[in-house]
Amino acid sequence: MNLNKQVRNNWIKEEIEEIYNLPLLELIYKAATVHREWHNPEEVQLSTLLSIKTGGCPEDCSYCGQAARYHTNIKVQALLPTEQVIEHAQRAKEGGSSRFCMAAAWREVRNNRDFDRVIDMVKGVNDLGMEVCCTLGMLTEEQAIRLQEAGLYAYNHNLDTSEQYYEEIISTRTFDHRINTINHVRKAGITVCSGGIIGLGETHADRVSMLLTLANMPKHPESVPINALARVQGTPLEHHEKTDTWEMVRMIATARIIMPSSMVRLSAGRIEMTEFEQGWCFMAGANSIFTGEKETLLVTPNPGVSEDMQMLNTLGLKPMKREKADCSTGC
Ligand code: SAM
Ligand code: DTB
Ligand code: SF4
């Protein structure tokens, strides 16, 4: 047993920098070791993602195909009917998924009929025995409490990038807005899912800075999605270069080492990765992915469920049953 097995919230920038800059194979080896101390390395959590309200968003996130101000090919879709969402969750469960994430292209939640309908969706998916997750934009504490009471298990709200680089990517809200919502989610007793994107034109220092913010939260996000920019035609970042998978591996491995009890999710970017490349991401400590029968994330392509199952099979991995509520005591 490793007696140093502890979660730390007092990282300093230089320590994370040192880990991030390790020779790649050394970094992967360390991350794989930590992964085995804290998790069953044979298990990968499958989280089914569904866009319940698509496009037409008033925000200006420069990576996002759903922002109304960019001329993208995305089809705008109003909030889906509740029954349709529950049926989708039911099928996801039958397909081996233990978590269901509902995403809405909103700047923030408003106290209106649409929110009432989302509350019903949360109750319905929770009744199926799945972990229910939502990502709906900014939330007040009262709204977070309503979601918690309806059975919401997790809320996804990404930092996206470093505090320093944030205003280069989004001008319609601030990094502090993001932190405030995360605090409201925490206070309401909902687990936090928060990570970011690489490939936005940020520096290595920005990546380290974002990881430092996550790893020094009073409680680490239970889940940390690492996305590679999905380049969407019509957005300001459409001509960015494809993110090198080794960069994803480095990010995932660093996140795994500094937030050992968290689920690290290999998120956007899988469609452009081979099984081989994804295998390296799992080796580096990723233990969660987004899947879905529509073969999309929200509006960009993602591998199909059968393709994912085949990959897991090849790699000797299996779908995780329901996540334990809290791994910080050592699960
Ligand atoms: N509107 C809500 C919000 O912004 O919080 C929820 C949905 S939003 C699509 C959820 C997250 O998906 C974003 O914060 C971002 O990290 C990620 N994301 C969105 N578009 C992306 C893209 N093109 N490539 C990679 N990640 C993306
Ligand atoms: C997250 O970190 N990644 C997911 C989820 N949270 C909601 C979204 C990725 C979106 C990728 C581009 C798209 O399809 O819109
Ligand atoms: Fe809107 Fe969210 Fe897309 Fe930003 S990331 S434009 S808030 S849907």
Averaged pLDDT for residues 301-307: 93
Residue at 39 is within a domain? yes
User: Residues 178, 265, 270, 281: which is the catalytic one?
Assistant: 265
pLDDT at 195 over 80: yes
Tokens encoding 241: 């270069």
The CATH code of the domain that includes 293 is 3.20.20.70
Is the pTM value of this prediction over 0.75?
A: yes
| pLDDT exceeds cutoff 50 at 327 | no
Q: Per DSSP, what are the bridge partners of residue 193?
A: 156, 223
pLDDT, tens digit, 9 for 90 and up, residues 91-123: 999 988 889 999 999 999 999 999 999 999 999
**Residues of the domain holding 112:** 13-309
* Within a domain: 73: yes
- Write out pLDDT tens, residues 217-256: 999 999 999 999 999 999 999 999 999 999 999 999 999 9
From 133, 178, 231, 256, active-site residue: 133
Q: Catalytic residue at 327?
A: no
Query: Which ligand 3 atom is the nearest neighbour of the CA of 57?
Result: 1
Q: What is the pLDDT of residues 34-71, one digit of tens each?
A: 999 999 999 999 999 999 999 999 999 999 999 999 99
> By the 8 A CB rule, do 296 and 302 touch?
yes
Quote the pLDDT of residue 323: 57
Residue nearest to atom 7 of ligand 3 (CA): 107
Number of domains in the chain: 1
Identify which of 197, 235, 267 to mutate to test ligand 2's pocket (most ligand atoms within 8 A of the CB).
Answer: 267
The reply to whether 326 falls in a domain is: no
Q: What is the CA radius of gyration of the chain?
A: 18
Q: What is the pLDDT of residues 136-186, one digit of tens each?
A: 999 999 999 999 999 999 999 999 999 999 999 999 999 999 999 999 999
Mutation choice for ligand 3 from 66, 156, 181, CB with most ligand atoms inside 8 A = 66
Share of the chain above pLDDT 90, in %: 91
Per-residue pLDDT band for 26 (boundaries 50, 70, 90) equals: very high
Instruction: Report yes or no on 8 lying in a domain.
Output: no
Paired sense of beta strands 196-198 and 223-228, if any: parallel
Q: Distance from the CA of 24 to the center of ligand 3, in angstroms? A: 33
Return the bridge partners of 131, or none.
Answer: 99
Sign of CA dihedral 115, 151, 127, 129: positive
Does the structure show a pLDDT above 70 at 267?
A: yes
Residues 6+ apart with CB under 8 A from 102: 50, 52, 85, 118, 121, 122, 125, 132, 133, 134, 135, 136
**pLDDT at site 52:** 97
The binding-site residues of ligand 3, defined as CB within 6 angstroms of any ligand atom, are 57, 59, 61, 64, 66-67, 105, 107, 137
Residue-level pLDDT at 269: 95
pLDDT at 5: 83
| Token pair of 66 as six digits | 């759903």
Cα-Cα-Cα-Cα dihedral sign, residues 208, 213, 214, 215: positive
Q: Looking at residues 58-85, what average pLDDT do you find?
A: 97
- 3-class secondary-structure state, position 176: helix
DSSP 8-state code for residue 322: S
Does residue 331 belong to any structural domain of this protein? no
Active site residue 134: no
